Amino acid sequence: MNKSIRIEAKQLAILMGASLLTDSFIQPFGRESTPQSAQLGIFSFAIEMLVFAALFRVLRSKNNTILQTKTTTALFLIITLLSVALEIIQGERFYNYVMQSKLSVGAFLGIVFVIGFYGVYSGLDALSRTAAMIVALTIFSMFLLIVSISSQLRFTNLQPAILNLKTIANSAISQLYLPPELFFWSILFANSDSNQKNQSSHIAPVLGLLFAAGSLFSLIGEMTLGYSYQQQEHPLFTIARLGGISVFRRLDALHVSVWLLLFLIKVTVYLSMLILLIKKLFPNLKNHWPYYITVTSVLGIFLIAWSQAENTAYKLQQSLLAILFILALVIPTKQREQLQ
pLDDT of 202 > 70? The answer is yes
- Average pLDDT value for residue range 326-330: 89
Give me the count of residues in the chain. Answer: 340
- Over the stretch 112-161, which tens digit does the pLDDT of each residue have? 999 999 999 988 989 999 999 999 999 998 888 888 888 877 877 777 76
Task: List the chain domain ranges.
Answer: 17-330
Residue 17 is which amino acid? G
The proportion of the chain whose per-residue pLDDT surpasses 90, expressed as a percent, equals: 42
Q: With helix as H, strand as E and coil as C, how does the chain read?
A: CCHHHCCCHHHHHHHHHHHHHHHHCCCCCCCCCCCCCHHHHHHHHHHHHHHHHHHHHHHHHCCCCCCCCHHHHHHHHHHHHHHHHHHHHHHHHHHHHHCCCCCCHHHHHHHHHHHHHHHHHHCHHHHHHHHHHHHHHHHHHHHHHHHHHHHHCCHHHCCCCCCCHHHHHHHHHHHCCCCHHHHHHHHHHHCCCCCCCCCCCCHHHHHHHHHHHHHHHHHHHHHHHHHHHHHCCCHHHHHHHHCCECCECCCHHHHHHHHHHHHHHHHHHHHHHHHHHHHHHCCCCCCCHHHHHHHHHHHHHHHHHCCCCHHHHHHHHHHHHHHHHHHHHHCCCCCCCCCC
**So what's the pLDDT on residue 157?**
75
Burial class (CB in 10 A: 0-12, 13-18, 19+), 230: buried
- Average pLDDT value for residue range 27-38: 62
Assessment of whether the complete model's pTM goes beyond 0.85: yes
Taking Cα atoms as reference points, which of 123, 55, 94 lies closest to residue 259?
94
Local confidence band at 30 (pLDDT 50, 70, 90 cut-offs): low
Question: Which of 6-10, 22-26, 179-183, 327-331 bottoms out in mean pLDDT, i.e. has the lowest?
Answer: 6-10
Local confidence band at 1 (pLDDT 50, 70, 90 cut-offs): very low
